Copies of this chain bind each other. A is one copy, B any other.
Amino acid sequence: MARKALKTFEPVPLAQVDIKGGFWGERLEVNRKATLPIQYEQCKKTGRFDAWKLDWKPGQPKPHIFWDSDAGKWLEAVAYSLAKHPDKSLEKKADWLIDLIAKAQRKDGYLNIFFTAVEPENRWKNLRDMHELYCAGHLIEGAVAYYQATGKRKLLDVMMRYADYIGKVFGRGKGQKRGYPGHPELELALVKLYKVTGADKYLKLAKYFIDERGRKPFYFQIEAEKRGDKRKTNPQYHQAHEPVRKQKEALGHSVRAMYLYCGMADVAAETGDRELLAACKRLWRSVVDRRMYIIGSIGSTQRGEQFTFDYDLPNEEAYAETCAAIGLVFWSQRMMQIDRDGEYADVMELALYNGVLAGVSLDGRKFYYANRLAVHPKAPPFALNTFPATRQEWFGCACCPPNIARLLASLGEYVYSRSANEIRVHLFANSGADIDVGGQKVSIGQQTGYPWKDKVVLKVVPEKAAKFTVSVRIPAWCRSAQMKVNGKAVDLKKVVMRGYARIVREWRKGDRIELVLPMPAERVQANPSVRQDVGRVALMRGPLVYCVEEVDNGRDLNAIELSASPAIRVRQDAELGVPVITARGQRTTQARWEGRLYRMMAKEVRKAVTVKAVPYFVWANRKVGEMLVWIRQGR
């Protein structure tokens, strides 16, 4: 491309990072041993994989238009798992699926279950709704990951041929369609394909899709008219209401938005496009300052799974799709390589520990599509079988479970970044990594009980002594972080820049950074423009949001109010095996109500209670019942 790439960090790749034990070690093992096999079983059982045989016959149930993406995401998750945990049987299953996929490819390179087996006459006729380019993106991500994990090129070659074909069909040349994905995803996938193959054409195609989006006349409207579809397109839903580099507000379908913003950040980084980066930064502010739940989730309404408007964060009616929080993790990770601010990793961590992890049960076997911040078990279910009080085994539209699986399986890639002379530590996780810094291998060993305990020990082991920078994130929630290097206190005021403590020195074998991140339980308020949360507080400890559940606190959680200045304690819970928060509060009772629904105002009869809160991601793993994140705060 014409312009040079931006100078960015790059994630230390999965192959070079080992997460072992500790909080994430346990979660990753559950993911590998429970969630991944479930995903395979469900895809087999529901015909998602066998649909690649293209043997659908009229009268049979139709394969869904985005089953292809389930295969792509499963292969991607398998690849990450194989990279760390070789497993011949699993690899055999993946190879079987890849063979099916390869056979399904048309001569011209086209590859799609629905539009090959069911409606071949409708290929490329409805980019807006039919997910063809989205499916291509997920298959490319799977292909890249599988190649990187196993060295096997079969699916990669298939997907390169498909990408080449897509590059012929779409573009600004004569006879080409000026379309772009109705559901973004292909853009970021093409950048991955570019990076793994070095072929500039894939980056150019990604850039084309990014730049074409939102131009007038609207492609989606034109293709709709050609189909005789008279429904009006809502371009905002697809982030296609204006050219992306002009966009200022996070709008429309929240997962689409996240995947688009990832592609924008990728293209900006690789092409040195500062205007595009500026758009990403503006959109970041829109999301993080005005449209994000405290659990790091986004998308306030199930009607279209969309963003709504500034400060609109309903709790019981929250949509907060698991995939959208995962998308926010993806985007944060990209932004933190380019813009180098700790805020990106703070948000990434918030989403990971709360909005993402709550999407899967502790045993890895059940899933939330939508994540409420307040639940009454009798409340009627929303769309998509998302019953509020219990996770489900699977979904007809099963985007979330495999998305969780692939993210957790690749979590190693989110812990460290590197540049020619710097290592960055973003996440605190028991782990080791071999990192290339200025041509030599530096081993990092991280020991921590985070997020339950406040201490992090980092051992820095260069092959030979060398001067470089080790930057360690100091989370914004921590008011009194302390650091020692080789036992000597570091004045963090002097070394913290944009959220990272930057230690520049000649590092030698045996060097040791000790970080303490004191994490008292805190009450957090929402901006008074968030009408749903005024007069309430959320309890947090470190990166974890807590919530109250009926099983611990009885029914009618809203009848409880925290005391004005409650003693807040943290204690290990024997049943749950995690620290819980307790605080003094009062509960308004039914005394003197005599069964009435309304009465003239009278003094409430209240009784003292001890409020018990558990980490949000732990909720709904015991008895079905009410749940509440934002608790009423007394004065």
Which of B294, B527, B528, B599 is within 8 Å of A524, CB to CB? B599
A633 partner residues in chain B, CB cutoff 8 A:
601
Given that A303-B380, A317-B317 are known contacts, is A598 also in contact with B535, CB under 8 Å in the complex? Answer: no
* B-contacting 9-mer, from A276-284, A327-335, A585-593, A614-622: A585-593
* B-contacting 9-mer, from A88-96, A157-165, A551-559: A551-559
Given that A379-B308, A528-B590, A595-B289 are known contacts, is A634 also in contact with B632, CB under 8 Å in the complex? Answer: no
A588 partner residues in chain B, CB cutoff 8 A:
528, 534
Which of B311, B380, B601 is within 8 Å of A523, CB to CB? B601
The 3 closest A-B pairs by CB, nearest first: A531-B558, A523-B601, A528-B588
Which of B292, B529, B593 is within 8 Å of A528, CB to CB? B593
Given that A378-B308, A632-B534 are known contacts, is A528 also in contact with B559, CB under 8 Å in the complex? Answer: yes
Q: Among A378, A535, A555, A599, which residue has the most Cβ atoms of chain B within 10 A? A: A535
Given that A308-B380, A378-B308 are known contacts, is A597 also in contact with B528, CB under 8 Å in the complex? Answer: no
Tally A residues with Cβ within 8 Å of B.
57
Decide if A385 is an interface residue (CB 8 Å cutoff). no
Nearest-neighbor residue (CB-CB) of A556 within chain B: B529
**A517-532: which have CB < 8 Å to B?**
522-532
CA distance A31 to B525 in the complex (A): 48
CB pair A597–B635 under 8 Å, yes or no, is: no
CA distance A283 to B596 in the complex (A): 15
> Least Cβ distance of A594 to chain B in Å?
10
Decide if A288 is an interface residue (CB 8 Å cutoff). yes
Which of B289, B309, B524 is within 8 Å of A601, CB to CB? B524
Q: What per-residue 1/0 map shows which CB atoms of A57-86 lie under 8 Å from chain B? A: 000000000000000000000000000000
A522 partner residues in chain B, CB cutoff 8 A:
600-601
> Least Cβ distance of A286 to chain B in Å?
11
Q: Which residues of A contact B (CB under 8 A)?
A: 288-290, 292, 294, 301, 303, 308-309, 311-312, 314, 316-317, 376, 378-380, 479, 522-532, 534-535, 537-538, 555-559, 561, 588-590, 593, 595-602, 604, 632-635
CB pair A379–B558 under 8 Å, yes or no, is: no
A289 partner residues in chain B, CB cutoff 8 A:
595-597
A529 partner residues in chain B, CB cutoff 8 A:
555-556, 559, 590
CB pair B534–A378 under 8 Å, yes or no, is: no
CB pair A527–B593 under 8 Å, yes or no, is: yes
Nearest-neighbor residue (CB-CB) of A317 within chain B: B317
11 A–B contacts from the bound complex (CB under 8 Å): A288-B597, A289-B596, A312-B376, A314-B316, A524-B600, A525-B598, A527-B597, A530-B597, A531-B556, A531-B558, A535-B535
A316 partner residues in chain B, CB cutoff 8 A:
314
CB pair A600–B526 under 8 Å, yes or no, is: no
> Least Cβ distance of A472 to chain B in Å?
22
CA distance A314 to B555 in the complex (A): 17
CB pair A589–B525 under 8 Å, yes or no, is: no
CA distance A534 to B301 in the complex (A): 24
